[in-house]
Amino acid sequence: MMTDLLHPDELKKVDPVFGQLSFDDHEQIVFCNDKDTGLKAIIGIHNTVLGPALGGTRMWNYNTEWEALNDVLRLSRGMTFKSAVTGLNLGGGKAVIIGDAKTQKTPELMRRFGEFVNSLGGKYITAEDVGMETSDMDLVRDVTPYVTGVSESRGGAGNPSPITAFGVYMGMKAAAAFKFGTDKLEGKQVLVQGIGHVGASLVEYLTKEGAKVLISDINEDRLQEVSKKYGAVVYTGDDLYTANVDIYAPCALGATINDDTVYKINAKVIAGAANNQLADENRHGAILRERGIAYAPDFLINAGGIINVYAELEGYGKDEIRRKTENIYHTTGEIFAHSEKNGCTTHQSALRVAQARIDARKQEKNA
């Protein structure tokens, strides 16, 4: 029975790719399928004006293929602006593998995915993301040079989580300076939502400075582990968005700032590691601005990870990685100043600065 299939005329009306809300003039979308390994993946290449599209591979058990496509389109677009606003000569790309990373990921599947990456000839360079480990990137490296985030023994820059967290910490301090008149976080109450590799590293930076850190996560064992290690307090309230804290740091999955939460948030500053924190970039960004909440654009302050893997391509060491990541502080301050001067949201300011750099490079190429 094939009653569920759409008639070709109906399919045209659906516009499943170019009609996606997250489609933003992407250059290329690659659908990867391999029956033998069970691989089903999508690679999104948003823009390559500044350089090859670099972005991680995420393995997630999406409910629908539509959801997976929407995710890769949003994430790849974000990578374009992340690299541009940070001053890196990279474009934006991302990949998603549909499946459960705990039960369906195999060495054969990862190598087959690497072969698809290799077929693009360097237009897309992959890296580690949710559901991936450094060992997975090593498997991809077996079949293609177009991968970063490999183990240090294979020429990699090492685990990007601590440097990603450092960038978020720098962005948070810049946002605090804008909102509170000082970048000192000692005594400030900070709620960190999501304490995976990056979130836990952020907790370490914050507690070392003397911030009062609250933590929230769906993994109870992880909560107890991080609480014990850093002295952070586990948040036990009914609704973390209503918590009376100074700073909210979303470090789990995206879109936590949405119609249900945007008016609840009591924090005066939002600065976290999660991608695509604003469910609706323009509307929710505008509401935060109207409410006087200082929002540090996610794609700017979580750029430490891409700076870390960019080092593998450019050949610079850990000191330069740290210096470039520390500069996120200054860039974030400039974005807040740009936002105030132009009467727009910080997210829009960061996008405009990034787009201006892309446009300038495009003009150079066309000259």
How much is the pLDDT for 2?
44
For the chain, which residues score pLDDT lower than 70? 1-14, 21
Residue 94 catalytic?
yes
What are the start-end ranges of the E strands in the chain? Answer: 28-34, 39-47, 53-60, 91-98, 124-128, 189-193, 212-216, 233-234, 247-250, 269-270, 294-295
pLDDT, tens digit, for every residue of 92-131? 999 999 999 999 999 999 999 999 999 999 999 999 888 9
Q: Which CATH architecture has domain 161-302+329-355?
A: 3-Layer(aba) Sandwich (3.40)
The annotation places the binding site at 194-199
How much is the pLDDT for 138?
96
- Residue spans of the domains in the chain: they are 16-79+91-154, 161-302+329-355
The annotation places the binding site for NAD(+) at 194-199
* Rounded CA separation 149/138 (Å): 8
**In CATH, what number does 16-79+91-154 get?**
3.40.50.10860
pLDDT, tens digit, for every residue of 217-231? 999 999 999 999 999
Q: Measured in Å, how far apart are the chain's first and last C-alpha atoms?
A: 57
Active-site annotation holder among 13, 35, 40, 94: 94
Of 69, 137, 152, the closest CA to residue 105 belongs to 137
Question: One fold for both 16-79+91-154 and 161-302+329-355?
Answer: yes
Cβ-based neighbour number of residue 89 at 10 Å: 14
* Rounded CA separation 236/249 (Å): 16
Helices (H), 181-317: 197-209, 220-230, 281-290, 298-301, 304-314
* Rounded CA separation 272/251 (Å): 5
In one-letter notation, the amino acid at residue 169 is: Y
